[in-house]
Structure 1
């Protein structure tokens, strides 16, 4: 029996997250992990005209207080209008990309929703992106007993740094700021549209 792969829960996950999951029939998300600062859990990387831009979802109590909290219990803060800021930033970076208009309305609807828990927001995002990649059949499971799955399985990075080759494709501002590997999957989708899944599969 093929062993299931364990993945971390990310906010608009990075390209390599999907590179590692695109050929799977089912993946497992860790439901009992502890929240860590400087992780992918509540932030993602975009590419703007001046280089990398990071978006972070604000959390109730801040990141320091949530470090000892189970990730599934971490709540999103709405003290500031972060949803509007994130949407406007994404639009500012990618409005001129080839396929942004194709995804814009769905993205706008997502940012209209008010999720209580970060985990639920990330899960919704992952499922939406999988549908864009024509992976509706991929089963996403949640486990609270991931220690039995063994070490080093799946995609579970500690930082934004690329720890493995990341798919190459033309980025909107590549001529100006150079290619930025392993940023949010949004970057790939907005540039390549339906061809994104082929690019991910070609580097697995």
Structure 2
């Protein structure tokens, strides 16, 4: 099957991820469903900006087959109170942001009442909810049936978009926007899409639109 863009599943992923979705939504976006789980990635974590700077938010997971667990079989851990941690952390970081109250109830309902305890199902559910808020058609999201070998697709960002030592798309040029806890050194890019939504609300699609330059060197 042909895909116009390949991405990994991700938990409230960074703005670059949604910028790619925004500008490829007229085609078919493949969400990698035939890989094994990868640690230390956006698959089960995101990064937000709080009073003390950038901090990670993650969901503990269980791997029934260890490092060879297919991504669709990764389970949300029953240990730890991650929902309570997320509630308190997001409230502390964004409670005073302009649009926090506008979005938070529906988001917490999504990760608070899961019928399926798989990471894949939660991520997809969140993506399908977030896309319309960003003027992205969720119908473009297509779970892959087979694994596309690396370096076989020119718009493959499954493994280059990662928290540490990742490679941003050449066409992605982050646009600064208002951040409630922006540090003295200035704007912090590549945070979770939640940072953009809580701070900019319905103006968020404008940031996604302005952040993409298909011919960055011209």
Normalising by structure 2, we get a TM-score of 0.84
With over 3 angstroms needed to count, the CA separation of the structure-2 counterparts of 1:148 and 1:111, relative to structure 1, is closer
CA-to-aligned-CA distance 1:70-110 (integer Å, 9 cap, x gap): 11111111122111211221111001111111102112212
Runs of 4+ residues over 4 Å off in structure 1: none
Structure 2 gap segments, 5+ residues each: 213-218
Structure 1 gap segments, 5+ residues each: none
CA-to-aligned-CA distance 1:154-185 (integer Å, 9 cap, x gap): 43225314633323212111144632211100
CA contact (8 A) 2:63 2:69 kept: no
Higher relative contact order (CA 8 A, sep 6+): 1
Q: Partners of 1:103 and 1:169 in 2: how far apart?
A: 18
Note the 1:115-130 alignment, pairs <5 A. 115-130=116-131
Residue 136 (structure 1) shift: 3.4
Which of the numbers 181, 184, 190 marks the counterpart of 1:173? 181
Note the 1:69-148 alignment, pairs <5 A. 69-114=69-114, 115-136=116-137, 138-147=139-148
Q: What is the CA RMSD across the aligned residues, in angstroms?
A: 2.2
Q: Write 1 or 2 for the structure with the bigger share of helix.
A: 1
Provide the residue aligned with 1:60 in structure 2: 62
Normalising by structure 1, we get a TM-score of 0.89
Provide the residue aligned with 1:182 in structure 2: 190
**Count of matched residue pairs:** 201
CA contact (8 A) 1:46 1:184 kept: yes
CA contact (8 A) 2:128 2:138 kept: no
